[in-house]
């Protein structure tokens, strides 16, 4: 969860310590074990190989332990710090002594690479030696972004391991930033640090060290935004922060900004900033969010609210309201991770179910979809529809790949997934009770005012809605159970009564008194298959529906129909679904658009997922096998005699499991034939 909650005056809930919750079965256990045993070591292999990423090599050059020039992306330092977070959680969860030792070696290397004044960014350190660049010359060199991830990673390392070597490095780097911001404030020459991870990092330093200078520095960093000259919507600094009402610009930078602002509000009450957070959040979730939780729809988009004659081209942009294309959906993985961070911080300020509903939606759909079922391949962007052929080339591959030039997403998703256990329970500020976050089969030991509470959670969630809690407590406490917004009915069973509820409880928390001793409580969330329609303003989805079950969004792939295509496939508006277990050979995830990739670092296996099957209608006119859709006229005469139709069986799988069975079409939104 990367938040030490113990020092936040305005937060209404606190997280539980590392190790308080362990997964004992189910999807979350499968995911975290796969990431810790496959993803994390594979990422280390690539970071340590100078012929692949050059990240570790850059630190060695800075420390005088290797020769050469800087190589890699300008933010590869930050990528490596994110991997270190995932490595810390892995090493101390699995009690992996060898990995613990390597982590300390990496930290020692970073410390040796750091400059005497605390500065640490390998491109500039190397560049100042060979004359190729200098520090603080270009905001798009991501220097402060790199430091922000250093701050967070160092705090996580200290919180989990108890060792302070990395924290010392972080404090020195923060000292450098303090001098930098003091001079900027004095001179009036203020620049925005792009992708502001340092806001969250500085507030985490404050919570970890309880040294108020880091709180003041974080506040100053945010306030100085309003002094930026010629600001850009790309960085959300064209307008003063307190005038923000809609979410615009680069999606990762926006989500990191508002997550950091929420961190500040957790420490210091600020009604104006809190109003900004609510306004921008509402704009996002009601008008600019995909059904999967993906965000930042556009590869490149114009700033929608600037002067009409002064539009700015923005990469991975939040565009206009309802501008949500499917084939070209960008939805960078880091943006969805940033949304989880932001939602978590909003939940700490105001623990409402809507924020954890959002975390659940993003986590179980777009976040899990960004990584293959073997844990070795990644999406940078997360589309909602894939076709067999395009007339244009997109920036990133149409299938997952093991290495990306811009490698920020893989270590980011690794650190988030390894930290999953810290999203399960939260303690109320007054210590009177516990609130649920993500539901997962798990076991937890939590202290309430020094009194131990043991909670065993037994469930197949998110595949089934029945969740059994067995509690052992020394004294009475309250347990607040999240009733997700997707749930329209259910019941709560205790040893005293049965409480049935309907849609009036959707998207709320239900608080239950749990008496001392051993007690059992059962929450049953009715989880039928639901067909979802979108707002009519989303033009691409007109006449189409999406298949969901509980928190999971489903999709259909090329191999899920007997015809081998999704072209011309229609759902019936009153279709019924049956359920089946589907085994996926993860070795097939290594296939790309017609060629096998080098899989020397991976291994095949099988993953079982729940699939849904229904009867669809295949219309011949839409499946002309002689011509690809890209080869057909832009418009052509409709000929009723060519609309022969036949029934076909069609399967839907959870969106998170797509692109693991070879390259081909995929759809979430399906055209519908409506019964009258």
DSSP 474: S
**Average pLDDT score, the chain:** 92
* Rg of the chain on CA atoms, in Å: 25
Q: What would the mean pLDDT of 86-109 be, rounded to a whole number?
A: 98
- Reported as a single tens digit per residue, the pLDDT across 155-203 is 999 999 999 999 999 999 999 999 999 999 999 999 888 899 999 999 9
Q: What pLDDT is attached to residue 137?
A: 82
Total-model pTM: 0.95
631-662: b or e for each residue (b if 16 or more CB lie within 10 Å)? Answer: eeeeeeeeeeeeeeeeebebbbbbbbbbbbbb
Calculate the CA dihedral of residues 55, 56, 57, 62 and round it to 10 degrees. 100
Closest of 554, 496, 478, 484 to residue 525, by C-alpha: 484
Q: Who's near 612: CB < 8 A, 6+ residues apart? A: 529, 547, 549, 554, 577, 578, 579, 580, 651, 652, 653
Domain boundaries, the chain: 5-423, 426-462+465-525, 529-673
- Reported as a single tens digit per residue, the pLDDT across 132-164 is 888 988 888 899 999 999 999 999 999 999 999
Residue ranges with strand state E in 167-321: 249-250, 298-302, 313-318
Least confident of 116-130, 344-358, 384-398, 421-435: 384-398
Contact of 293 with 339, CB cutoff 8 Å: yes
Q: How confident is the model at residue 384 (pLDDT cuts 50, 70, 90)?
A: very high
Domain 5-423 top-level CATH class: mainly alpha
How many residues are recorded in the chain? 676
Q: What would the mean pLDDT of 237-245 be, rounded to a whole number?
A: 94
How many whole angstroms separate alpha carbon 177 and alpha carbon 218? 10
CATH of 426-462+465-525, one of 2.40.50, 1.10.8, 2.60.40, 3.40.50: 2.60.40
Helix/strand/coil percentages in the chain, nearest 5: 40, 20, 40
DSSP 485: T
- Reported as a single tens digit per residue, the pLDDT across 545-593 is 999 999 999 999 999 987 778 988 999 999 999 999 999 988 654 444 3
Q: Phi and psi for 71 in degrees, rounded to 5?
A: -145, 155
How many whole angstroms separate alpha carbon 416 and alpha carbon 55? 20
Three-class SS state of 468: strand
Q: Which strands, in side-by-side order, build the sheet including 508-514?
A: 13-15, 425-428, 433-436, 477-483, 508-514
Please return the burial class of 67, using the count of CB atoms within 10 Å of its CB with bins 0-12, 13-18 and 19+. Answer: exposed
How many whole angstroms separate alpha carbon 258 and alpha carbon 244? 11
């Amino acid at each position: 969860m990367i938040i030490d909650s113990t020092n936040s005056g305005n937060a209404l809930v606190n997280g539980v310590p590392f190790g308080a919750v362990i997964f004992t079965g189910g999807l979350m256990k499968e995911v975290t074990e796969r990431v810790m045993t496959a993803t994390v070591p594979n990422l280390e292999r690539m970071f340590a190989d100078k012929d692949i990423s050059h990240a570790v090599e850059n630190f060695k050059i800075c420390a005088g332990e290797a020769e050469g020039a800087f190589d890699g992306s300008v933010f590869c330092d930050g990528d490596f710090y994110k991997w270190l977070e995932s490595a810390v959680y892995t090493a101390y969860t699995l009690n992996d002594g060898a990995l613990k030792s390597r982590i300390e070696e990496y930290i020692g290397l970073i410390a040796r690479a750091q400059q005497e004044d605390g500065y640490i960014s390998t491109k500039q350190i190397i560049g100042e030696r060979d004359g190729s660049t200098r520090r603080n010359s270009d905001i798009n060199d991501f220097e402060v972004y790199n430091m922000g991830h250093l701050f967070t990673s160092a705090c996580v390392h200290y919180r989990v391991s108890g060792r302070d070597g990395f924290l010392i490095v972080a404090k020195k780097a923060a000292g450098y930033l303090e001098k930098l911001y003091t001079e900027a404030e004095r001179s009036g020459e203020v620049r925005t640090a792009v992708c502001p991870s340092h806001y969250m990092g500085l507030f985490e330093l404050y919570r970890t060290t309880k040294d108020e200078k880091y709180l003041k520095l974080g506040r100053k960093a945010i306030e100085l935004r309003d002094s930026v000259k010629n600001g850009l919507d790309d960085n959300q600094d064209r307008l003063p922060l307190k005038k923000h009402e809609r979410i615009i610009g680069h999606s990762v930078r926006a989500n990191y900004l508002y997550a950091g602002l929420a961190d500040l509000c957790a420490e210091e009450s600020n009604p104006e900033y809190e109003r900004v957070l609510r306004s921008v959040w509402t704009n996002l979730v009601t008008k600019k969010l995909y059904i999967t939780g993906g965000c930042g729809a556009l590869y490149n988009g114009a700033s929608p609210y600037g002067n009409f004659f002064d539009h700015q081209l923005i990469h991975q942009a939040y565009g206009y309201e309802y501008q949500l294309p499917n084939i070209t959906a960008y939805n960078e993985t880091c943006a969805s991770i940033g949304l989880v961070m932001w939602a978590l911080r909003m939940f700490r300020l105001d623990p409402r179910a809507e924020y954890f509903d959002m975390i659940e939606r993003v986590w179980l759909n777009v976040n899990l979809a960004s990584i293959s079922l073997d844990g070795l391949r990644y999406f940078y962007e997360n589309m909602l529809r894939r076709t067999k052929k395009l007339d244009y080339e997109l920036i990133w591959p149409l299938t997952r790949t093991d290495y990306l030039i811009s490698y920020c997403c893989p270590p980011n998703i690794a650190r988030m997934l390894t930290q999953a256990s810290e999203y399960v329970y939260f303690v109320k500020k007054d210590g009177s009770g516990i609130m649920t976050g993500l539901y997962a089969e798990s076991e937890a030991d939590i202290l309430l005012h020094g009194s131990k509470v043991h909670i065993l959670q037994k469930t197949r969630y998110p595949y089934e809605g029945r969740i059994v809690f067995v509690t052992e407590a020394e004294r009475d406490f309250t347990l607040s159970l999240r009733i997700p917004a997707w749930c329209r009915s259910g019941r709560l069973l205790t040893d005293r009564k049965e409480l049935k509820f309907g849609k009036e409880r959707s998207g709320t928390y239900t608080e239950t008194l749990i008496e001392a001793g051993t007690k059992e409580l059962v929450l049953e969330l009715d989880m039928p298959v639901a067909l979802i329609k979108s707002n009519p303003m989303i033009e691409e989805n007109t006449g189409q529906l999406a298949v969901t079950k509980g928190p999971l969004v489903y999709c259909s792939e090329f191999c899920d129909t007997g015809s081998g295509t999704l072209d011309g496939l229609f759902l019936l508006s009153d279709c019924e679904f049956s359920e089946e277990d589907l085994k996926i050979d993860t070795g097939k995830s290594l296939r790309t658009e017609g060629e096998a990739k080098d899989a020397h670092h991976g291994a095949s296996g099988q993953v079982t997922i729940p699939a849904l099957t229904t009867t669809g209608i295949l219309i011949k006119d839409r499946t002309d096998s002689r011509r690809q859709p890209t080869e057909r006229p832009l418009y052509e005469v409709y000929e009723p005699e060519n609309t022969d139709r036949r029934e076909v069986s069609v399967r839907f799988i959870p969106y998170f499991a797509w692109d693991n069975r070879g390259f081909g079409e995929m759809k979430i939104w399906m055209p519908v034939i409506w019964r009258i």
